[in-house]
Amino acid sequence: MYQDILLPTDGSDSVERIAEHAGSLARQYDATVHVLSVVDTRNRFEGPSMGLGSDAWEDAERERAREAVEDAAGALPDDVSADRSVESGVPHAAVLEYVETTDVDVVVMGTHGRTGIDHYLIGSVAERVVRRSPVPVLTVRIGDA
């Protein structure tokens, strides 16, 4: 049923909980887990007095994404096959594109469970993926609401 499982990660501390679910599915179906992190190309600091320049921002984001992928892959059981990938773009769009181009069967991802003004201001990558994904999405609640 599931040959390819996508585990997108942003480097959150609760990656072990998400990897536990992805690893369990992978073991049950002898599937490969694709661990993905996205370099967010929307530089929030592009003004002349806003701090980091765009190159520094992207370099920092790429390093964060590499570390997030390694942490998540390391949290999977040893007997689970893991592919690692770092993509660039808008996070929810890059996750959905990966689903389409890699023929992923299911997505296992964390959600922070934000509500109210935090949800409005920050948005939710998980919510956007759930709403637009052509494959099932298993969400694992992480962190405080």
**Mean pLDDT of the 128-134 span:** 94
Q: What is the CATH number of domain 4-141?
A: 3.40.50.620
pLDDT confidence tier of residue 2, bands split at 50, 70 and 90: very high
**Mean pLDDT of the 2-29 span:** 94
Pairwise CA distance, residues 120 & 143, whole Å: 18
Q: Crossing angle for the helix pair 15-29 and 54-75, nearest 10 degrees? A: 50
Q: Crossing angle for the helix pair 125-132 and 91-102, nearest 10 degrees? A: 40
pLDDT of 54 over the 90 cut:
no
pTM of the complete model beyond 0.75: yes
Per-residue pLDDT at 113: 55
**Mean pLDDT of the 21-30 span:** 97
Residue 134, judged by CB atoms within 10 A of its CB (0-12, 13-18, 19+), counts as exposed
Pairwise CA distance, residues 3 & 124, whole Å: 27
Q: Do 69 and 21 meet the contact criterion of CB atoms below 8 Å apart?
A: no
Q: Do 86 and 62 meet the contact criterion of CB atoms below 8 Å apart?
A: yes
pLDDT confidence tier of residue 30, bands split at 50, 70 and 90: very high
